[in-house]
């Protein structure tokens, strides 16, 4: 396809899809029984790009009411320009939170659209620094019994994934003994040579996190995510300096100043492209992390991150999160297999993110 530089965006639509979980799920601080995706489609020259975020369905209204008119008519090749215009358009609405999620979904859709118009995998358009993107299996919800946890860990192991993360900090840190027993169970299930990660989702107090972290060291845990609230930057620094596992946080970052504040107090910075401004924002967060001599880890939504992750020199890994993997494999053809613990985005030459929406399935889960 021959594409002119002024090829305009002609359509921008959003819908809400709600998919029940495959069982009760919880982490250290919240429970849920469904996952909501806000799906965005951008069109130009008869081509459609797809993006998404996870969160409150009201984000779809942000796309329809605040972002659509800002994007329509702009060049489909000028994604950074659209990103900047959207950021200005939502100033008075308050950018953090669901507004940032809506903007992120549109940005991802526009990058997918641009790559499709040019006939390139998004990884090739951005410029690869790696062919393989490492992932870690993530789930291990606090609601799981021993059998369910073992089954999930074994499933990832059979896929060749050598890194495993489970949730701890149950009930705001009030089930510490069970937390540690579940970590012991996970270690036995995956063996001594596999990497073991934990995520407290901010459920512990500072000194509790330090005490737990010292026990985790004996179990070979190398990644301690949100040991305390990500709002407690001083607390993150206290825990980071007191434990041997790498302390990570950043999934609730919606803008670059947030990441700039967090970078000095963590060992690895996390960022979520479906929250921090899409592909545009995520690549900028990666550059900020590199300026602080840190690696970046992609939070959740692995198929939204995979191509951008291939373009990042300081990538550590992506989160192969149970809920989002299940939803993305359900709704899209072309989902990536984590063979040997890595994704290979763009290896088949498919343009954009390489995904095709299963329209009938999406329609069955539409709630807005």
| pLDDT tens sequence across 303-321 | 999 999 999 999 999 999 9
Residue range 126-155: mean pLDDT, rounded: 98
- The pLDDT of residue 3 is 67
Quote the CA–CA distance of 252 and 272 in Å, as a whole number.
8
| pLDDT value of position 4 | 66
Report how far apart the first and last C-alpha atoms of the chain are (Å, whole number): 34
270-314 residue pLDDT tens? 999 999 999 999 999 999 999 999 999 999 999 999 999 999 999
Q: How confident is the model at residue 5 (pLDDT cuts 50, 70, 90)?
A: low
In the chain, pLDDT over 90 holds for what percent of residues?
Answer: 98
* Contact call for residues 22 and 16 (beta carbons, < 8 A): no
Is the per-residue pLDDT at 62 higher than 90? yes
pLDDT at 361: 96
Q: Using one digit for the tens of pLDDT, what is the confidence trace for 21-52?
A: 999 999 999 999 999 999 999 999 999 999 99
Q: How sure is the predictor about 2, in pLDDT bands with cuts at 50, 70 and 90?
A: low
Which residue blocks in the chain are alpha helix, DSSP H? 59-62, 68-71, 79-89, 98-118, 122-126, 146-158, 170-173, 176-190, 206-218, 233-242, 256-262, 278-291, 302-309, 322-331, 359-364
Quote the pLDDT of residue 234: 98
pLDDT for 27 equals: 95
Is the Cα torsion angle 273, 277, 278, 279 positive or negative in sign?
Answer: negative
- Model pLDDT, residue 285: 98
Vertex 365: Cα angle to 361 and 368 (nearest 5) = 130
pTM over 0.85: yes
Residue 165, number of CB atoms within 10 A of its CB: 23
What per-residue confidence (pLDDT) applies to 30? 95
Whether 165 shows a pLDDT value over 70: the answer reads yes
Give me the pLDDT at residue 6, please.
78
Residues 313, 123, 324: CA angle, nearest 5 degrees? 90
- Residue 75, C-beta contacts closer than 8 angstroms, at least 6 positions apart: 5, 6, 7, 8, 9, 81
Tens-place pLDDT, residues 212-268: 999 999 999 999 999 999 999 999 999 999 999 999 999 999 999 999 999 999 999
């Amino acid at each position: 396809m021959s594409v002119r530089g002024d090829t305009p965006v002609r359509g921008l639509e959003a819908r809400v899809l709600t998919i029940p979980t495959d069982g009760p799920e919880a982490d250290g601080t919240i429970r849920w029984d469904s996952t909501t995706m806000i799906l965005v489609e951008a069109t130009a020259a008869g081509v459609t790009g797809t993006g998404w975020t996870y969160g409150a369905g009201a984000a779809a209204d942000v796309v329809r009411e605040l972002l659509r008119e800002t994007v329509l008519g702009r060049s489909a090749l000028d994604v950074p320009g659209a990103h900047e215009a959207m950021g200005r358009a939502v100033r008075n609405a308050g950018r953090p939170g669901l507004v940032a999620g809506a903007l992120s979904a549109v940005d991802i859709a526009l990058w997918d659209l641009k790559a499709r118009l040019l006939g390139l995998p998004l990884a090739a358009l951005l410029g690869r620094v790696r062919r393989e993107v490492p992932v870690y299996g993530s789930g291990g919800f606090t609601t799981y019994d021993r059998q369910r946890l073992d089954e999930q860990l074994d499933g990832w192991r059979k896929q060749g994934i050598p890194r495993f993360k489970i949730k701890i900090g149950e009930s705001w840190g009030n089930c510490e003994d069970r937390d540690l027993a579940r970590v012991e169970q996970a270690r036995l299930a995956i063996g001594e040579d596999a990497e073991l990660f934990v995520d407290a989702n901010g459920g512990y107090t500072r000194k509790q996190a330090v005490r737990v972290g010292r026990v985790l060291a004996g179990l070979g845990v190398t990644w301690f995510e949100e040991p305390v609230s990500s709002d407690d930057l001083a607390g993150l620094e206290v825990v980071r300096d007191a434990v041997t596992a790498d302390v990570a946080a950043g999934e609730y970052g919606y803008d670059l100043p947030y990441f700039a504040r967090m970078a000095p107090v963590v060992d690895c910075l996390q960022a979520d492209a479906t929250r921090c401004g899409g592909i545009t924002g995520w690549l900028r967060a990666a550059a900020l992390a590199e300026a602080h001599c840190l690696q970046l880890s992609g939070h959740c939504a692995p198929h939204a991150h995979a191509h951008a992750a291939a373009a990042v020199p300081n990538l550590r890994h992506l989160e192969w999160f149970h809920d989002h993997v299940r939803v993305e494999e359900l709704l899209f053809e072309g989902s990536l297999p984590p063979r040997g613990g890595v994704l290979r985005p763009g290896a088949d030459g498919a343009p954009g993110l390489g995904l095709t929406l299963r329209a009938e399935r999406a329609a069955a889960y539409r709630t807005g």
